[in-house]
Amino acid sequence: MTTPTAPEIAPAPAELSYRRTVDRRLVHRAAVSEVFVTDIQPLAAKRVRAAVQLPLSHAYYSDHLQRPAAYDALLLLESGRQAAIAGSHTHIGLSEHTTMIVDAFRIDLRGPKELLIGAEPGRLLIDTEYIGRPTRRGRYRKGTVAQRYSVDGTEVGEHEMDVLFLTRHENEVLRHAQRGTPAPLTSDFGDQGPAGDDDRAPAPALVGRGNPLNVVLSHVEDTPGAVAAVVAPRFDNRALFDHVYDHLPAMTLVEAARQLALLATGGPRSAYVVGFEARFARFAELDAAVRAEAPRGRVRDGRGVTPVRFLQAGAEIARVSVTVADGGGL
């Protein structure tokens, strides 16, 4: 799908507020603490602007070893997802029960310097444009979301998503067509997830983390030319599993790609993730192991890109390329 670039950011509407978050149902979150959008207003027929307060501290998004500390690329990705969903409900006309399935996305951030955390929570503005054509009955089934980000008045990056809009029934039909059997739920497993109390997870510092709860890899295979691992998140990580799922959500696979890329480049303390490009071919099922593979690489001339493949039952289900930047000059 060809994706036009979103228009330049106009002056912020005076009504945008950072005083409180929006209704959690507008961003498909169960916990109010996982809502980051504070306001959203229309700019044009298919354009909205959202205000997002970036937290100074968060058990998942702030758990990184790089110093000086910068806002997590996945925090900006999640903020963009929330802004897109909220805008689709409040200004595009999609019903509250519509599911947004991501086929592909790309997020490019300027670099860690523009995302350094200051003394006050960051004020993020996200301009969102919805690109697509409705059916004859006026319903949107697929399209593209194009976004521009600015933090405290400085433009910091862009994000694009190709998405499908499905009703709950359509989503259930799709899941059954792919599996042939009902899918298990995360609630069917213990807090540790399908891997159980796995003692084969890497030390958190090896993947740039401090808290073992945020490690999503296990059974790491490290060779001179490549690294591989099993994707094994804990289901009691409420940032990744805010509600019950019948698959591993895309954000979990992206986090696994990030951790594998840091292993592949050997820079868990010095490399900042500043971009992702992902494509998802199938759902990552809960009842079969998901394997992630990446070639070894290095950061050259300040940047490096690591391609990560995800396989389940021998078939590729997703690809995520991770861009890292050297923070040595900060």
pLDDT tens-digit series, residues 228-266? 999 999 999 999 999 899 999 999 999 999 999 999 988
Give the separation between CA 235 and CA 232, rounded to whole angstroms. 9
Highest mean predicted confidence (pLDDT) among 45-49, 86-90, 104-108, 323-327: 104-108
pTM over 0.85? The answer is yes
Determine, yes or no, domain membership for 9.
no
Q: Are residues 255 and 306 in the same domain?
A: yes
Determine, yes or no, domain membership for 11.
no
Among 146, 158, 42, which residue's Cα sits nearest to residue 89?
Answer: 42
Among 93, 219, 81, 105, which residue's Cα sits nearest to residue 160?
Answer: 105
By CB neighbour count within 10 A (0-12 exposed, 13-18 middle, 19+ buried), where does 3 fall? middle
Q: Are residues 42 and 79 in the same domain?
A: yes
pLDDT band at residue 13 using 50, 70 and 90 as cut-offs? low
Determine, yes or no, domain membership for 134.
yes
Task: Give residue-wise pLDDT tens across range 36-64.
Answer: 999 999 998 889 999 999 999 999 999 99
Q: Are residues 32 and 162 in the same domain?
A: yes
Determine, yes or no, domain membership for 192.
yes
Residue 1 confidence (pLDDT) above 70: no
pLDDT band at residue 121 using 50, 70 and 90 as cut-offs? very high
Q: Are residues 191 and 76 in the same domain?
A: no
pLDDT band at residue 110 using 50, 70 and 90 as cut-offs? very high
On whether the CB atoms of residues 243 and 230 are closer than 8 A, the answer is no
Mean per-residue pLDDT, 14-29:
89
The confidence score (pLDDT) of residue 6 equals: 47
Determine, yes or no, domain membership for 175.
no
Question: What's the chain's average pLDDT?
Answer: 88
The confidence score (pLDDT) of residue 288 equals: 93
pLDDT band at residue 318 using 50, 70 and 90 as cut-offs? very high
Q: Are residues 161 and 192 in the same domain?
A: no
Determine, yes or no, domain membership for 14.
no
Determine, yes or no, domain membership for 19.
no
Q: Are residues 95 and 134 in the same domain?
A: yes
Q: Are residues 155 and 192 in the same domain?
A: no
Determine, yes or no, domain membership for 10.
no
Q: What's the number of domains the chain is made of?
A: 2
Domain span at 189? 184-326
Domain CATH for 58: 3.10.129.10
On whether the CB atoms of residues 28 and 163 are closer than 8 A, the answer is no
Side chain identity at 46, as an amino acid letter? Answer: K
Residue 2 confidence (pLDDT) above 70: no
